[in-house]
Structure 1
Amino acid sequence: MITYHLLTPHSPEWSTAATQIGAIDWPAGAHLAKLMQTATWQPWERVIYATNDAKMAGFCALLAEDIVPDTPYTPFVSSVYVNPANRGQGISLRLVQEAEKAAQAADIDGLYIVTRHVGLYEHLDYELVDRRNDRFGRLNRILYKSLNA
């Protein structure tokens, strides 16, 4: 059974989650793990961490900034990842929904997602608002969803 954890730097699972997130074979995992270990987190920022028993099933983060620099956009659902063994179960969409709930609890009116995927987040009513290069020069789509609907 998949369990979803809403983590802050004060959560007991924070260190274990950072280690497991940093160990995946995707550079965004290492980046998020480094943020978890070194950054100062705003009170509303979170890591949504999914487990299947004690194993990481996936994660995402609710962050003030993402991979596209110098934008007027904030906050973001960032670094959505599902372990390959757990894909095809709707975990990525549930992770985003959990981030949305955390944002609403913090009185955040809307969220952005930076992605190169087409069609995934649109299932959750995210809409294209911009296209910008990320810090690696890759063109990304920036999607937005109002949480006031």
Structure 2
Amino acid sequence: MDYIKYIRKMVGNNYVILVAAGALVLDKNNRLLLHKRSDNGYWGLPGGFMELGESAEETARREIYEETGIILGEMELFNVYSGNSRQQILENGHKFYDVIILFKCKDFKGEITLNNESLDVKFFTLDSLPDRLFPSQKDIFEDLLSKIHKI
């Protein structure tokens, strides 16, 4: 079941709270995995919205696999993002506040693959991230770059 379609049938375009999960996937050279989103052409962290019955960890694992082909191993919590700064209105009129649960993962396997959600998937050094970063993740990238020495 697609939870967002389910909830939108009931509330229309009114504000809802949606929970998302993703991961900072870092390789042995401390490069960050990003995917170029097919919906808007921006580079962003892989992740997405939780489905009914999923845990945050399950959501992160499913979304990263779907968007990149990477299978996550051990993860640890990086941060939770919520509040007024997470208010969004999409082009289709859907309004929401998202709560993003973000993990850090250096333990992964698999080969990078593309699907209909990703135009490209690459690892980037933290000092040479692409210019066209997903605007709604700006606060996350700022947080990440301020904590570079702790990663």
Q: So what's the TM-score if we normalise by structure 1? A: 0.28
